Each structure stands twice: as C-alpha cells, then as structure tokens.
Amino acid sequence: MAKHEHARVAVIGSGFGGLGAAVRLRREGITDFVVLERADSVGGTWRDNSYPGCACDVPSHLYSFSFAPNPDWPRTFSGQRHIRAYLEHVTDTFGIRPHLRLNHEVLRMEWDADALRWEIETNSGSFSAEVVVSATGPLSDPKIPDIPGLSDFPGKVFHSARWDHDYDLTGKRVAMIGTGASAIQIVPAIQPQVRRLTLFQRTPPWVMPRMDRNITGAERRLHRALPFTATLRRGLLWGIRELQVGAFTKHPGELGLVEKLARANIARAVKDPALRAKLTPSYRIGCKRILLSNTYYPAVAQPNVDVVASGLREVRGSTLVGADGSETEVDAIVFGTGFHVTDMPIAPRVIGADGRSLADVWKDGMESLRGATAAGFPNWMTIIGPNTGLGNSSMILMIESQLNYMADYLRQLNVLGGRTALAARPSAVNAWNRKVQARMERTVWKSGGCESWYLDANGRNTTLWPGTTGEFRRETRQVDLSEYEVIRAPRTAPAAASRPSRTKKEAAK
C-alpha cells in the first residue's frame, strides 16, 4: 500500500531556503513538519553545482545564516565543498534530519478546499499538509537551449550544474557555451587542462576583481573566541552592499565609475585589442549581474582559448557552428546556460483553489504578494519567490526575511484558531506588484540596455527586488491580515487530520 503522511507544514526543497525554513519552524516550536527533497542529500545549489572552481560570489561571512555563524570559513569566498559541508552541519546541529524525506520529488500538489489542506503527491508516497512552504530554488533546474543538431553530437554534453566527474577533460577540445557566473568560474579552472577551449559568448559580462584570500588562523581564532567580531564582520559586509543599492535602483549613472574600473580590469589582463573588444560589454554595468574573478580574463587570454563572440547557432556532427559562420570541432560541450528562472518549474505542479495551476495563473508573468504568497493558492508560500532576487548582495538576507514572514503567517493562523487558511487577496497582490514594477522603471536592469535572465518573456523583471535588503526585511516582518481573506472550514466538516484524504482513499483501493 502506498505510504501517506500528514504534517502541519510541508517544506519542499532542502537548500538554504528549505533548511532555513526547517530551522525556523523548530525555533517557533513547530515540530510537525516534513522536508520533501527530490535528491538523496541536502544542499540544493551547493549539492548540484560541483563544477571545477565553483564558489560563492558574496563573501562567506554574509553568505551564511545569521543564526548559524561559521567562524571557520576558510576563504573570503569559500568553495562549493565548504558551503555544502556547512549546510550538512546546519542540518545536524538544528535536528533537521528526522524531518527529511529524501528521494521524494513533489510531482503535484492540490488545494483541497473542503479539508483546507494541500494534498501532495511525490514519487515515493503521498502527503497532506495544512501549509506548504515551497523552497524549490530559483536556480535549480538547468536550462539547455534548443540548438539544432545537438542531439546528434557524438561527443560528451553536460550542464555546469550536472558536472560529469567521470569524464576527463584532459587534452580534450572543449566548447563552453555561455559566459555567465558559472562559466567564468569554470573557464580558468579547466583552461590549463584542456587542449583547446572555445568559448561561445552571446553577450560579454562585466567582470570585476574578486577580493578573495585565505581567512587566516588568527582571524578564525578571534571569531571563535569573540563571536561578536564575526557579527561585526558580517554587518560591515552587509552595510557596504546596502550603500550600493541606490546606484542600481535609482541612479544608474553613478555606475559609470565602476564601469571604468571594470574596463581597466579587462585592459590589465587582455593585451590583444581584438580580444579586448570582444570581451567589452556595450551595456551599462549592473544591467546583468556583475561577475567577480581575478582569473577569468587571464585564462581567456591564453593561446589555447578562442572566443566566438556571436554565440552558438548549430551543431553539425562534432562541429559547432557559430552565429558568425565559424566552425569548431570539439570533443565535449559544457553548457553554462543558466536555469529555468522566470518559468518556475514547480509552478505547473501546484493546483490552486479554482483548479488552475500556478503556471497557468502566472502565464503572463510571475506575481506574488511580498515575494511569498499568490492569489488563489491559500496557505501556500514560496521562499525566493517573484522579485526577491538581488543583484549585489547575499540571498540569505532575503531568505531570512521570508522566514520571518513564514513564522508570522503560522502565528496568525494559530491566533485565528480552528481550521483556517489565509488566501492572498488579488487586490493586495496587484497593489504590491504595481508598486514593485513602478520602481523597476528607474533601475539599471530595465534601463541599462541589456537582455538578461532577470527579465521574463514579456520583458518584465519578475526576479529582482528593487530596493535594499533592509527595506525588504521591514516589508516582510509581519503578515498584514488586511491583505488576506480568512477562510474557515465549514463547521460540519470533519477534522482535517482525521479526515481520510483522497490519496489515502486511492491508496486503499
């Protein structure tokens, strides 16, 4: 018989978002919850991205939970292995293991308006929950573009987020497709090892130097002995980034100076004027994510690297044809082409109160209330939802704000008592999005003259938050009940936990 479990809260995903939610639930005294994770271990981004050179691009003391400081970060920008180990450590320290349901991919969840709960189907059994916290990640499902002829390529093909460690690149002719945040870490890591590296670039990124260094033993001892010094360090890192926000969101002209520094960064490493021209962007810095690396330009300037600045058009056998007509024969193709972001992969699997999926409701663009809840989807919230991304600071700050919101949401449900659900009012969702989109007009992401993954198919920026992290923290401190409709279960309905669920009945058949 198929397994069924009921929990007050079902968290989906076990990256920073899902684990953060789990810790926060326990801190709120809620232990009746499960964490459904499709993979066989926790870690999300930092489990899946194990490519050579993978590291965070926000300093580790800021790119970690405020409630779980790590005095032992080895580098200012620590590598994937250490961040993954940190998340395993958080899982153990806060007693999250018993709540984990690994190898449970959520296939579908549907709101049961009579029982006021979510019915959740996974590939390893069914669940029901009064509240769903969806933390499936904004950069979780790799995107490989539909390139004509790719399926007939005889060599090796993989995405940066699914690195094939069994395939040895030594002495191979390798094509790297894309020049985003992952690609600029991969290129310097594999360039010395491969015979030839051809970089297919559609738009060059702006790349600034990375202040990366080992964190000394003395610093670590200090942070361990006097924890407030680590808090101070985090505060400084946060404050500097908060001061930068206005340039991105209100005064893009101020980024001109940064652009000069970035040009100097290219000139320092790339002496060939033709290559320099290929690598110099024509849009305002900040319009796409500013990337940080000391090794990218020096690697690209090496004699075994070519840049095809027109992008990849077609694959013919083992030959890659650029949009400029150039032909390159390769043994392996590595896609650093990003993720499904504005078409959130969980959205078609979430069926709301009126039987429509979230993907259907969001077909013209993602819209939520305070980055968390959506009209028509009671007691469902997402971590890192629409317009919560950042261009210059740590996503953990945003995640922790959303955890405050989640905690207050659950408190409000307690205060309301009985079997209750909160449904975001469409008017509140509209008002929030009108405000966010009005502010977006002035941002560099809109006016900087680039196309980026921040924008959806309609050219709307539904991914980034156009303000400071402090402002988002204030906006999400508490749930404003006037923005929600309170739904109460009909008096005659049996209690949720004892009522047999549809999936239970199906299982019993």
Ligand X SMILES: Cc1cc2nc3c(=O)[nH]c(=O)nc-3n(C[C@H](O)[C@H](O)[C@H](O)COP(=O)(O)OP(=O)(O)OC[C@H]3O[C@@H](n4cnc5c(N)ncnc54)[C@H](O)[C@@H]3O)c2cc1C
Interface contacts to ligand X, rule CB under 6 A:
12-18, 36-39, 44-45, 49, 54, 56-58, 63, 105-106, 135-140, 182, 346, 383-384, 394-395
For residue 465, give the nearest of 403, 387, 397 by alpha carbon: 387
Question: Looking at beta carbons only, is 174 or 397 nearer to ligand X?
Answer: 397
Tell which residue, 466, 395, 481, has the closest CA to residue 433.
466
Cα dihedral 209, 189, 158, 277 in deg (nearest 10): 50
**CA 365 – CA 456 distance, rounded (Å):** 7
User: Least distance (Å) from ligand X to the CB of residue 149?
Assistant: 27
In angstroms, the CA 396 to CA 17 distance is 8
Taking the least distance from each CB to ligand X, the nearer of 149 and 348 is 348
In the complex, the smallest distance separating the C-beta of residue 481 from ligand X, rounded to whole angstroms, is 27
Closer CB to ligand X, 17 or 352, in the complex: 17
Shortest Å distance, C-beta 384 to ligand X: 4
Question: Rounded to an integer, what distance in angstroms lies between the CA atom of residue 299 and that of residue 175?
Answer: 14
| C-beta closer to ligand X: residue 133 or 194 | 133
The residues, ordered by sequence, that sit 6+ positions from 290 with a Cβ below 8 Å of its Cβ are: 205, 206, 207, 208, 258, 262, 391, 392
Closest separation in Å from C-beta 468 to ligand X: 15
| Chain centroid, CA 75 distance in Å | 22
Q: Which of 350, 432, 439, 444 has its CA nearest to residue 111?
A: 350
DSSP 8-class letter at 414: H
Can you tell me whether residue 357 is helix, strand or coil? strand
**What is the closest distance, in whole angstroms, from the C-beta atom of residue 53 to ligand X in the complex?**
10
Q: Report how far residue 490's alpha carbon sits from residue 9's, in angstroms, rounded to the nearest whole number.
A: 21
Cβ 473 to ligand X shortest distance, Å: 15
Q: How near is the Cβ of 389 to ligand X at its closest, in Å? A: 8
Choice between 105 and 483, CB closer to ligand X: 105
User: Between 80 and 379, whose beta carbon lies closer to ligand X?
Assistant: 80
Distances (CA, A) of 428 to 247, 358, 405, 468: 29, 17, 16, 21
- 136 versus 501: smaller Cβ distance to ligand X: 136
